[in-house]
Structure formats: C-alpha cells, structure tokens
Structure 1
Amino acid sequence: MFPHREPPRVHPGFSPVPHRQPPSSMGPRFFPQHRCSCGRPAHERLPNYERPRGPSPPPPPPNINGWRKRKNEDCGSPVLKRFRDDDSDSFMPYLPHQHMPPFYGPDQALAGSSRSRDFGHPQRSPHSHVHNNMPATCDGTVDLQVYVKDKVSAQMVELFEACQQRHSDLLHKEMCRSWLQQDMLRVFEAGRLYMTGSSMSGLASRSSDADLCYVLRENKPTHPVAVLSALKRMMKSLLYVEQPQLIRAKVPILRFREKGSNLEFDLNVNNTVGIRNTFLLKSYAYADPRVRPLILVIKKWARHHQINDASRGTLSSYTLVLMVLHYLQTLNVPVLPSLQKDYPECFDPTLEIDMIPERAQDTPPYNSQNNSSLGTLLLGFLRYYATEFSWKKKVISVRDAKAFAKQNAAKWRDKFISVEEPFESNNVARAVHEQAKFDAITSQFLESFHMLQKGKDLNSILPVQEIIHKELSWK
C-alpha cells in the first residue's frame, strides 16, 4: 500500500485485517451476538471485502532512497497500541493468534488513545441491539428492508449499501494515520494524532476524506498555523504524501493527499471539540438503523445540488448532519432523543479526551415507536426545511432536541442559518453569510420537495446509478 515504507513489526501470525474479528467500527452489523436463522454467528458470514487478505507485502530493500530503519514501534497506532500493557512501558513479547486484538473501532478505543478496552472479549455496541420487529440478517445487520415500503426507500437502501464506507476503507485511513503519527514525532515529541469526523462516526461514504486532529500537550501554547506550517515542511520529505496545502480558515487546516490515490486528509491542531462531536454523532448514527442511510442520501443530494460546501458559502456536512438529527428529534413521534439531555455524564464537555469513547458506550439503546419508511423520512426532511422551519426566528439545537428563538441571545441575530454546535454552542452554519447563497439553499429544499413528492422517485432529485458507479470505482 505504501511503497518505500517498512511495515509495523508485529507477531508474524497477525494480519492487518484480523481473522474473523467483528470490526466494531462498522457498527452493529458485525457483532457476533447477532445470529440469523442459519444459526451461524454473524462474523462467520462476513462479506468478501471484509475477509482476510493474506500476509502483508515484504518490506522494501534498504537501498531505496528515503527509506529509513525504524528504531521504535508506532506509538500512536491502535493496531499496535493494544500490544502494550496498560501498566507498563514495555511491549508484550507474544500474544497467541486467537487473542489478537480486533482492529480499532470507535466503540472500543480512540485512534491515538492511550486507553483500550479488553480486546480479548469484544464488547457489544450500545446500539447493536435488534429493534422491535427488525430481524437480523445473515451478515449481522439489522434488516433495513423493514423500512422499505416504497420505491424511494428501496432506492435509498441501494444507494447506501453501495456507497457506505467499508471496513477496509477505514483500515486504509488508519494505516495512513499511523505512519503520520510516527513521522510527526520528528517535529513534535508531545503530539498525538487522532482520526475524527465521518470516517469514525460511521457516516462516511467510500469517497469521503479523513479528518485528523493533532493534539499537542506542550507547556507553552503554540499557534495552530505555526504547527501546521512546520508539519507542511516535514511532509514534503514523505514519500506517501503529496500536495500539502495550508488553509488559513477560522480553524486552520493542512490539506493533503495520499500519493497515488484519491484519499484526502484535513488536519487541524487542538480542535478537540471535533473528537467530542465525533462520538456524539457515532452514538446517534447507531441509535436507529435509518439514521445512516438517511444522512448519506441527504449529503449526496446536497453535494449534487452544490449546497454542501462551506468553503463556497453553503452548508458543511457537519451542519447537514445536525439538521437531519434535529428533524428526527422533533417529529410528533421522535426517531431520536437528545442524548446530551438524557445522558449528560456520557457527553460531559469536560471529559478527558481518552475517556470519550469509553463514556459514549454507556448510552443505552433507544427504541423509537416511529416506524416511518426511509422514503417518508426523506420527504419529511425536505418538507420540514422547505415549508415549516422558520430560518429567521429559530435556532436548531440537537442538544435540546428542539428549535429555540433567536432573540434569546444576540449572537444568533442577523444570521441566515443558525445551527448550534452541541458542545461549544457556536453557529456551525456561519459559512452561509450571503443572501444569494441562503436563497439557493432554501430554494433547493423547496424544489426538491415538490419534485420528490410528485415523482416518488429518488432519481427525480439525485442520479442514483451515476453516484453508485462513481463510489464503486473510487480508489
């Protein structure tokens, strides 16, 4: 995967894709507690792309330019981190193959974290339950066909199943993060690199980029731009990174690509709220099986109609996700609760970063009494923001599971779109600051609502097969 790099030194029986271990990062579908009518555990019916791929390629010869011998193991990689005894700085010399740790997932540990769960006994996700009247299928998934009651719902499921991020995609991103963590030690010895965003929350598609947060724990404060500039200079010497670009936004980021692929990364410094909201969204994503397909389709719809790009004055993907969650919370029969209100101890903004995934697991299952189909929820989402929601008077709050009045605080006045960040309470839709952009967004909601209501076909607002083909051919 990465030419000219030495693969991690681990026990020879260990494969980067663990043998028959349910990858918890992909959510409830892979947990072995689920059994189907055939009586076999779900993890014994993994799809082809989840199965072991054999041994890693051999290391490159020592005479290749740029290759260097690694004296230390990758301290930031959760794949290797689990070989480390929690109470010791020494590596465990040997682990039997049957006790090899499963690959890191958001339900078990945080990428780059010093904490880990008992890897000998994979834990069941808080949302890996089977909802009422929703049978588990042979691969461990909750059967989405329960919510397919119309043509649009069937098209949404088809789009979701083709486009959702695979475990192999996440593994690829994690391998890159692991190499970067090691190389960054040359510049900042006290830094730790975390993967955040949709890749970790379960809301990514195959072509989604990866968000990284570099947390520096140094005695003296360092300006993010200075840190990113130093990292940019360092990346120019890396053989697996290309096109590093420093973007001086309100939250400065370093954007770069993995060489030879389309995989793009956005790296920020000390923006730890991104780690917190990643696991909040993870909990919402698996609270109900309809959440992930609905969000993926809506993000594809917004991207297709060019209203999903904060750099161009429209909606960020994070804003769109919060808008979907708010809609699902405010239905007459809610699909989702407010996790922050119901379980404040699990999403305490003062929690130590490494404790976040531990606490996020403590949120119990939520069984909604709303049995609406996916197509009904999509049409309702478009209707809500096209004809019902008051953009001028209301602020969207996922934390409170409601919309509150703008006059409650001066900071919300004169904003075209107001969406509260669940932890910091600032406006995540601040990129929409022009009347023309706001008009384009609202008119698209109204137009798509009427088209979908009339045509009852997802293709009326989104080229389904074209998007599927693009995702399946993505590398």
Structure 2
Amino acid sequence: METVADIIQLFVPGCAHVQRILQARVPILRFRNEFTDLQCDLSMTNSSGVHMSELIYIMGQLEPRFPTLVFAIRSWASAAKVTNPVPGRQPTNFMLVLLLIHFLQRRHLLPSLEILFKNAGPNDQRVTADGIDCSFLRDRNQILSHFTPQTQGESEAELLFAFFEFYSKFDFNSNGVSLLTGSSCAKPDGSPLYIQNPLERQLNVARNVSLEELTRFQTKAKEFLNLTRSS
C-alpha cells in the first residue's frame, strides 16, 4: 500500500493530497482527483465494501429521494464540521448514509435489509474471499414484491427536516441502529454510537465515534432545526 501510494503521488497525473490510512481495520489510500474534483478511496482487500456500495445503490433505486437526501446531509455535515476528511473520532459520511437508510426504514419508505437477505436467489449469491456472505436480493422489482413502500407525498426538504428531528431526539445512550431489522436495538457494547454493520453483523460501524462528537452531531442537528423554523 505504501508503494502504491508513492506511485500515485509521484507518477499519476491529477492525483493530489494522497493520504495513507493504513492503521484502520481496512487500510485505504485516499486522494483527490483534480481533473474530476472527486475524492477517491483505494483499498486492496475490502471486497465486501464493493457489495456494501451496491446495497446503498439499490436503496437509491427503491427510493428516488434518497440520493438528494444523501447529498444534502453530507453537505450539511461538512459545512457544520460534523465530519472530517481525516478519519478519527467523528462520524463519517458512510455512517450518515446508514443513519439515513435507517430513518427511511422507520418511515416504511425502505425495506429492512432482512427482507433482501432472506429472499436472495441463486443469482444473488456472493461470498468474499475471506468468507463474508454478501448475498442479498438485487432486483428492484423482486424487492418490491416483498415490500410495499408507504406512499407519502413528502418533499426532500420535509424528509430532511424529519431526519434531523428524528436523530436530535434519538436515545443513543440506550439504543443502537440495526438496518437488518429496520428498528432500534439494544447496544451490545458501551460505544457511544452503535450502528450494526449490515454485512459483518458482529461489527459496529461507528465504534470509533466519541461521545463528545456524537453529542456535537445532535447539537448541530438541533441548531439546523431551529434555523429552519425561524427562517
């Protein structure tokens, strides 16, 4: 990974700000492509991450407002400094996306992931080289045959407001988040923020988030609500 980072930094045109994040559970290289103005993460061993990205893409196919909400929440988090480009004790964009999926599950706009896992067919079978089962139903029409989304005429702005209202009041002290069931769950550990990894269910996606940063997330959410109410 060090060698690849050196090659990207020295020889690949348009790649700048190369970061070596090699002590994480899944080591990555992060850099910005100046031609496209995109931030890129490169990993050599995280094949389950590809299937996780596919799972998030499917959520966007099922709920057309989902991509806009992802963009809005990520933009807000960056402006409010809730997230940080350098991994640490703050929530990440990935965690915020999972929180959004859970919120939409609670409003019956997205299915629990249990529906996708239980109804996976032969063509949906995927197992990574390190034994992680990433088999889940991938066909949109088949998913909708097992799940009927609740028809609501809320706009993206209304859902965004409801997202912040939901998590500003969420009892993170007692409850964790399970996308598998689409409901809150008892926390199995003392982490301030618990989000069950949908594919590696024994893992907490948010295990590095500190209580201070979680409290800050909720405080900033309340500030957003107050600002929109007064405008």
TM-score (norm 2): 0.81
For this pair of structures, how many residues does the alignment match? Answer: 218
Q: Partners of 2:136 and 2:176 in 1: how far apart? A: 31
* Correspondent of 1:441 among 213, 217, 220: 217
**Structure 1 alignment gaps of length 5 or more:** 1-227, 456-475
Contact 1:279 1:357 in 2 (8 A): no
Q: How does 1:40-439 map to 2 (within 5 A)?
A: 228-235=1-8, 238-240=11-13, 242-243=15-16, 244-250=18-24, 251-258=26-33, 262-309=37-84, 311-331=87-107, 334-346=108-120, 351-352=126-127, 360-361=138-139, 363-365=142-144, 366-387=148-169, 389-406=170-187, 409=188, 412-413=189-190, 415-425=191-201, 426-433=203-210, 435-439=211-215
Q: 1:367 to 1:259 in 2, by over 3 A?
A: closer
Contact 1:235 1:241 in 2 (8 A): no
Contact 1:396 1:420 in 2 (8 A): yes
- What secondary structure sits across from 2:143 in the alignment? coil
Contact 1:308 1:317 in 2 (8 A): yes
Shift of 1:311: 1.9
Q: 1:269 to 1:323 in 2, by over 3 A?
A: same
Contact 1:379 1:453 in 2 (8 A): no
Q: Rg bigger for which structure?
A: 1
- What secondary structure sits across from 2:71 in the alignment? helix
Residue type matched to 1:380 in 2? A
Q: 1:257 to 1:337 in 2, by over 3 A?
A: closer
Shift of 1:266: 1.5
Contact 1:241 1:256 in 2 (8 A): no
Q: Partners of 1:339 and 1:265 in 2: how far apart? A: 27
Q: 1:262 to 1:342 in 2, by over 3 A?
A: closer
**Structure 2 alignment gaps of length 5 or more:** 129-133
- What secondary structure sits across from 1:286 in the alignment? helix
Q: Deviations over 1:10-48 (max 9, x none)?
A: xxxxxxxxxxxxxxxxxxxxxxxxxxxxxxxxxxxxxxx
Contact 1:347 1:360 in 2 (8 A): no
The answer to which structure has the higher helix fraction is 2
Identity of matched residues, % = 22
Q: 1:368 to 1:241 in 2, by over 3 A?
A: same
Residue type matched to 1:386 in 2? S
Q: Partners of 2:137 and 2:52 in 1: how far apart? A: 13
Q: Deviations over 1:380-413 (max 9, x none)?
A: 11111112x111011111111000112xx3xx22
Q: 1:235 to 1:446 in 2, by over 3 A?
A: closer
Q: Partners of 2:116 and 2:43 in 1: how far apart? A: 31
Contact 1:232 1:246 in 2 (8 A): yes
Q: Deviations over 1:205-232 (max 9, x none)?
A: xxxxxxxxxxxxxxxxxxxxxxx12323
Residue type matched to 1:341 in 2? I
Q: Partners of 1:401 and 1:283 in 2: how far apart? A: 16
Please, what is the CA RMSD of the aligned residues? 2.9
Q: 1:358 to 1:344 in 2, by over 3 A?
A: closer
- What secondary structure sits across from 1:299 in the alignment? helix
Shift of 1:308: 1.8
Q: Partners of 2:156 and 2:75 in 1: how far apart? A: 15
* Correspondent of 2:230 among 451, 454, 463: 454
Residue type matched to 1:267 in 2? L
TM-score (norm 1): 0.42
Shift of 1:235: 3.5
Q: 1:239 to 1:319 in 2, by over 3 A?
A: closer
Shift of 1:429: 1.6
Q: Partners of 1:235 and 1:317 in 2: how far apart? A: 24
Q: 1:317 to 1:359 in 2, by over 3 A?
A: same
- What secondary structure sits across from 1:324 in the alignment? helix
Q: Partners of 1:403 and 1:256 in 2: how far apart? A: 35
- What secondary structure sits across from 1:269 in the alignment? coil
Deviates more, 1:360-369 or 1:394-403: 360-369
